[in-house]
Amino acid sequence: MDQADKPVIAPGRSCDGCTMCCKVLGIAALEKPTQQWCTHCEIGTGCKIYGSRPAECEQFYCSYLLTADLGEEWAPAHCKMVLAYEAHANRIVVHVDAGRPHAWKKEPYYSQIKTWARNAIAIRGQVIVWQGLDAVAVLPNRDVNLGRVKGTQMIVSIPRPDGGFDLTLMDRDDPRLKGRS
């Protein structure tokens, strides 16, 4: 990623003192499992291989860094959650530290996550909370525990007759997904 492609960090934000993404995210290039501290992380300080870190790490910017509208309570080191936006899936993702799996259900977080879910409906978006290793689809009127998502599965929006939709797991090779991105 060259300098022109790097996202703009919100004023006053930095990763200083925060290493939460080094725990909650899986990094394929390092064979680092989700919800385990990276062996290259000095907790609370930073990456010991920062200059040669994999592209997955170099290209990741949490939403807290990028979104000035998020309050200080959303700082990952404080709330034990890492927010991200997956443009390819039109999805807001909340990665919750497995050591505090219900942190997202506390205020002020839960009401904000529900607001995001209401707003996502209008644009066929999704809000997914990774509660440890389990995916939870957050909808305006309910939360649906999807459980563990296998590498062969994807989270899919299914329209309902009332105009709403449900989120469910489907195998990537399911014929019903033909023509969907």
pLDDT digits (tens, 9 = 90+) for 121-140: 888 889 999 998 899 999 99
Low-confidence ranges of the chain (pLDDT < 50): none
pLDDT in tens, 7-34: 999 999 999 999 999 999 999 999 999 9
Q: Are 89 and 126 in contact (CB under 8 A)?
A: yes
Q: Give the domain ranges of the chain.
A: 1-68, 80-181
Percentage helix, strand, coil for the chain under 3-state DSSP, each rounded to 5 = 30, 30, 45
pLDDT given for residue 121 in this prediction: 83
E strand or H helix at 114: helix 109-122
Beta strands 134-139; 142-148: pairing state: antiparallel
Q: What is the pLDDT of residue 61?
A: 96
Single pTM value for the model: 0.86
pLDDT number for residue 161: 77
Give CA angle at 84 (14, 44), nearest 5°: 40
